[in-house]
Amino acid sequence: MGKKAEKIYVVGHKNPDTDSICSAIAYADLKRKKTGEDYVARRAGRINEETHYVLKKFQVEEPPLLANVKLQVKDMDIHKIDGVETNVSIKDTWAKMKEYNVKTIPVLKDGELAGVISTGDIATSYMNVDDGRKLSEAKTQYKNIIRTLDGVLVTGNEHGYFTKGKVTIGASNPDLMAEFIEKDDLVILGNRREAQECAVDIDASCLVICQNAEVSDELIQKAEEQSIVIIRTPYDTFTTARLINQSIPVKHFMTKMPLVTFRMSDYVDDIKEVMAKKKFRDFPILDRHGRFKGFISRRRFLDVSKKKVILVDHNEKSQAVDGIEEADIREIIDHHRLGNIETMGPVFFRNQPVGCTATIVSQMYEEEGIAIDPTIAGLLCSAIISDTLLFRSPTCTKVDEKAAKKLAAIAGLNMEKMAQEMFKAGSNLSGKTAEEICFQDFKQFAVNGITFGVGQINSMNKEELTDLSDILLPYLPEVLENHKLQMVYFMLTDILSESTELLCVGIGAKEYAMEAFDVREDTDKLILEDVVSRKKQLIPALVGVMHQ
């Protein structure tokens, strides 16, 4: 079986904004069309109301959550194999193992793992032939005996079970047979009529007639009256006696639960030690419902490859999906300052001083000569509107405006109207907790040994921003403590007046901000005129004073 095609995840930062989500969706689309490979968009956190609005407008599903990119069992090359039911015979199980060329096979009961059986277990079953009661102890079904002996049912219920007595061979005269054959035994017989009659008179459970010998109608009728099963087989007595234990159900010899199993969601790092300590060849894999999914072996464990990811709209480790240090980063597409993401090898890294990652993605469509469909154009245009505050942000460039106008024409979008609807949806936070409001657009930074976070909400409603200030101020100290930050800033940005009220929490936080923006008067509210961009205005100013 060949390896399954590997997914390449295209993902933005934690606390994703509209640019992060829309650029991931669009870039995955571009890469699929260019390469034909399995590029898929993912999100690294909960999307905000503005992005919800954009996705709904263009009827695009929200990308699934990629909680982290640590290797999991489901990322490994799992050997998928059909199991056998618990009542299947050892002979049929062995045939299936030869067909699949495997040394271990799962034993299932109603789809759930009941145990496993290996070639070693089957070898043991062949060796333990000294006890004639194994067939009844294992509660062997008569239809298993029929299949194993390539036999036919002469009379009786093939769905019944041999549950009492021992396996015997009726090769002696009737007097001697009566001494060692007991009621409920299974008797292997030839064509001697008197021996057959003796076994019926003793009230055996089952008669196995070898070499397809005849059984009289009178004896068949008597067996029916006593509920005795009669099976006819083409094999001779020796072969029948040798084969009959192979009809024992596999559950009798399997290694039973609890076994060393792993879940599809288990992390590879967490199972390494367990696999090293246990000397099993194969380890069963279960899904979250406990159903068997396949096996992994040490060889497959060594072949496992890292998750492949493309990062969009960020290049800071603190903003990246958890476990990014274990991933195979293939590309980075961004428009922010250079961060601290490290890669094992060289990667394609495109970083341009524009207002939005979506602008870069739209350029790449053009460079590859791939047409942008109206839906993708609508997503990319919305992302530019969001990140540039409809061209009001100082991060906005002529390149962004030109790209947005071209995309709006493809999507049939009125940008002014779209901006109003998006910003209204984004600032409608009724019913949300302080935590949900805070982290819908929140990023962490590390500068000169100082770790701090910056959140932002844009609104066209001044009263709404005042209400948000009242909600957030009491909550921000919790953010400081829970996220082990030294300072927290929150930008409440009024799009219409192009100003920001900056909430500051943490020792020295307000002082850094006042120095960064040359604010002389220490008032309760810190209002920053003409400041609307976290990326181009707030962060560079704060970094500047923190480096002093």
Q: Where are the domains of the chain?
A: 8-71+307-425, 90-252, 434-546
CATH homologous superfamily of 90-252 equals HprK N-terminal domain-like (3.40.1390.20)
pLDDT at residue number 1: 43
The CATH number of 434-546 is 3.10.310.20
Radius of gyration of the chain (CA): 37
Is the pTM value of this prediction over 0.75? no
Report CA-CA distances (Å) from 438 to 51, 213, 313, 449, 475: 16, 86, 20, 24, 9
442-447 and 450-459 beta bridge pairing: antiparallel
Q: How many CB atoms lie within 10 A of CB 474?
A: 9
Handedness of CA 53, 56, 57, 63 (dihedral sign): positive
Q: Whose structure tokens read 């341009």?
A: 352
348-351 and 328-334 beta bridge pairing: parallel
Whether 235 and 212 have beta carbons less than 8 Å apart is answered as no
Nearest to 526 by CA among 492, 495, 476: 492
**Domain range 8-71+307-425, its CATH number among 3.40.50.880, 3.90.1640.10, 3.40.50.300, 3.40.50.620:** 3.90.1640.10
- In 191-269, the DSSP E strands lie at 206-209, 229-232, 255-256, 262-263
Q: Which two tokens stand for residue 150?
A: 């390539």
Report CA-CA distances (Å) from 402 to 30, 355, 379, 391, 410: 20, 12, 16, 11, 13
Report CA-CA distances (Å) from 376 to 27, 47, 60, 360, 403: 10, 18, 9, 14, 13
DSSP states of 354-387: SS-HHHHHHHHHHHHT-PPPHHHHHHHHHHHHHH
In the three-class reduction of DSSP (H, G, I as helix; E, B as strand; rest coil), residue 304 is classed as: coil
Q: What are phi and psi of 253, to 5 degrees?
A: -115, -5
Nearest to 322 by CA among 429, 181, 444: 444
Q: Do domains 90-252 and 434-546 have the same CATH topology?
A: no
pLDDT at residue number 128: 63
Which ranges of the chain have pLDDT less than 50? 1-2
